[in-house]
Amino acid sequence: MIRLNGIARTFLVGGEEVHALRDVDLEITHGEYLSIMGPSGSGKSTLLNIVGLLDRPDAGSYELDGRKVTALNDDELARVRREKIGFVFQFFHLVPRLTAVQNIELPMVLAGIDPAERRRRLDRLLAEYGLEARAGHRPDQLSGGQCQRVAIARAMSMGPTVILADEPTGNLDRHTGQEVLSVLERVHQNGGTVIIVTHDPEIGARSHRRLRMLDGAIVGDERG
Amino acid sequence: MRVADVLQFAWQVLRGSVSRTLLILLAMGIGVAAVVVVTALGEGARLYVANQFGSLGSNLIIVLPGRSETAGAMPGVLIGKTPRDMTLEDALALKRSHAIRRFAPLIVGAGDVRAGGRSRETPVLGSTADLMDIRHMEVAQGSFLPRVDPRHSQPVCVVGAKVANELFGSRSALGEWVRIGDRRFRVIGILSAQGQSLGFNTDEIVIVPLAAAQALFNTEALFRILVEAKSREQISAAQSDVEDIMRLRHEGERDVTVITQDAVLATFDRILRALTLTVASIAAISLAVAGILIMNVMLIAVTQRRREIGLLKALGATGPQIRLLFFTEAMLLALGGAAAGLAVGQLGSNVAVQMYPTIPFQAPWWALIAAPAIAMFTAVLFTLAPARRAAQLDPVQALSRR
């Protein structure tokens, strides 16, 4: 489903080349629950951004659901992102002036889905993520855990191929982090593909496939 | 994205920062209102002048002796002026034209008018009975000059309201004798007070029969002939008739100048329109300033909302969609500002009318369309750069910064 071949990404920082990714090959199949771990600067976020089509590799090829996406232009990438990728961020990234339900609705609004269908999906998502009572609240009226649930519901609203979570518990206390993690695991149990970037070995241990990264390369790939 | 969703999104942004929105609305509103008010003043002045000309008389043609033309050598110097006087016989010859309803030959001079112990220097007009109708004069008491052969003098006069008052006070002037120069005239009529009409105050004149004026000022030469055409359509026919008749009588030389009221009016019209346009475009500069304000605010918005823009891109917003959102926001601001400005401008015009009821202040239709249109145009123009910047924002960077 996701096939990366010889992906490389170099940044220019202060006139010096930094190899964030060097020659990465990776294959992820449908329904996997995968964690990416490694120290800061090891390239895990860059990998996530490239898988999420937010960033382009300097070299290599990327195939998503059998389609070569390396050759697409920005607007085509945006459309693929809209249909196939769901993002969950460390800092939630909810739009502060919009209510929970409006935040969840945003990807569907951008996709131009008609309001009746949006309503149907919203009802289902609110129920699934236990947000019915909080639907009309703005992010500043929600707890961290609720914010992240809203973000996950938003990521799921378009029925994506893969959920990409960048330190989804990094900004939450332990208990709330566990709660959010179990929400993500439920997505996986329902057949979704979940990729989590994390520092936390405990979270890593719960996943079914663990990638270890160091200096822009994948140095470990364990399953089970 | 659906149109309704785009509008709602922009609306939520605007409602999210009320003071910012109000400030821009204010700037846009002032710009639009300025254009509306200024054009209303200009248009009001133009209509006022047109009305004033209308009160001079309708379908009026003015014949002046001499033909002014500048020729060659020395610029600005009039050469070949007044070779021949215009006489009463010239005026009477105008009866031949079918396009002319009536005419009044005119002699103007200054005279010392005395009655009893009082005396006053006033303009003295020598003319015929038709002057009253041509110039839309009204007689308050008595009658106007008698309708007789203009070649014969009669010792009668018609005085303006102010002159009558100054010479006779509260006594009735009708039937009294006044002395102008070395001649005596009986007052047979008093004009009703009309006030100033384009520099000529009918309240302060004395009108005597043409022949009397000729004797009084010892001249045969007419100052003007006022001609009234039969209708508006006949004005040009009357004008060429006048020119032909005069040429025939003056041995083939066209040595009179014929001015139509329309031509004079059209000149004023052009001048005042140009003036209105000029001032309106100065007012329109404030619209450009409002546009720059919008650009400023939008640029700040791109910086402030970079996380949001990055998020929208991560959620699958394309560059055109981001641009559309910014343009919609700017358009809503411009629309709101234009509506507010139009309302305030109309209010301003109404206040002006209340203060000066004689002048018809009303912004012309083109200003009512152009002002909002310019507001929209500047809003879109000045949002081009911010919207472009937003659309080109790198989502990874936008999202990574806290």
Q: Does A117 map to a domain?
A: yes
Gyration radius of chain B over CA positions: 33
| Joined tokens for residue B221 | 């030469």
Q: What is the pLDDT at residue A46? A: 92
Whether B401 contacts chain A with CB within 8 A: no
Report the amino acid identity of residue B370. Answer: A
- d(Cα B314, Cα A54) in Å, to the nearest integer? 7
Q: Give the 3-state secondary structure of B185-215.
A: EEEEEEECCCCEECCEEHHHCEEEEHHHHHH
| B314 closest CB neighbour out of A54, A91, A102 | A54
Q: Does A88 map to a domain?
A: yes
Instruction: Test B396 with A55 for CB contact under 8 angstroms.
Output: yes
Min distance B15 CA to chain A CA atoms (Å): 9
User: CA B345, B350, B354, B359 torsion: positive or negative?
Assistant: positive
B5 contact partners, CB below 8 Å, separation of at least 6: A109, A112
Q: Are B312 and B322 in contact (CB under 8 A)?
A: yes
Closest-CA residue to B33 (of B277, B331, B338): B338
| Joined tokens for residue B239 | 């004008």
Nearest CA in chain A to B3: A112
Neighbours of A108 (CB within 10 A): 24
Task: Find the domain containing A157 and state its range.
Answer: 31-45+82-223
B120 contact partners, CB below 8 Å, separation of at least 6: B112, B113, B114, B163, B166, B167
Q: Does A17 map to a domain?
A: no
Q: Are B372 and B366 in contact (CB under 8 A)?
A: no
> pLDDT tens per residue, chain A (224 residues)?
899 999 999 988 888 888 999 999 999 999 999 999 999 889 998 999 999 999 999 999 999 998 999 989 999 999 999 999 999 998 999 999 999 999 999 999 999 999 999 999 999 999 999 999 999 999 999 999 999 999 999 999 998 989 999 999 988 999 999 999 999 999 999 888 999 999 888 888 899 999 999 999 999 999 87
| Joined tokens for residue A55 | 């960033």
Min distance B8 CA to chain A CA atoms (Å): 11
Ordered by start, the domain boundaries in chain B are: 3-53+266-400, 84-254
> pLDDT tens per residue, chain B (402 residues)?
888 999 999 999 999 889 889 988 998 898 899 888 888 888 888 888 887 777 777 788 888 887 655 445 455 445 555 567 888 988 999 888 889 999 999 999 988 999 888 888 999 999 999 988 888 888 888 999 999 888 888 899 999 988 888 888 888 888 999 999 889 999 999 998 876 655 567 888 999 999 999 999 998 889 889 999 988 888 889 999 998 998 888 888 778 888 888 787 888 888 888 888 888 888 888 888 888 888 888 888 888 888 899 999 999 999 999 999 999 999 999 999 999 999 999 998 889 888 888 888 888 888 889 889 988 898 889 899 999 999 999 888 888 754
- Give how many domains chain A has, as a whole number: 1
- d(Cα B36, Cα B328) in Å, to the nearest integer? 25
Whether B318 contacts chain A with CB within 8 A: yes
Q: What share of chain B is helix, strand, coil (3-state, %, to 5)?
A: 55, 20, 25
Nearest CA in chain A to B309: A95
The CATH number of the domain where A214 resides is what? 3.40.50.300
| Joined tokens for residue B186 | 């009986």
Nearest CA in chain B to A46: B396
Q: Does A126 map to a domain?
A: yes
Instruction: Test A81 with B315 for CB contact under 8 angstroms.
Output: yes
Q: Does A8 map to a domain?
A: no
Q: Does A65 map to a domain?
A: no
| Joined tokens for residue A135 | 């639907």
Q: Are B64 and B239 in contact (CB under 8 A)?
A: no
Contacts of B315 in chain A (CB under 8 A): 81-82, 87, 106-107, 110, 154
CA angle B285, B288, B294 (to 5 degrees): 150
Instruction: Test B313 with A78 for CB contact under 8 angstroms.
Output: yes
- d(Cα B226, Cα B260) in Å, to the nearest integer? 10
Tokens 């080349």: give the residue: A17
| A107 closest CB neighbour out of B12, B315, B402 | B315
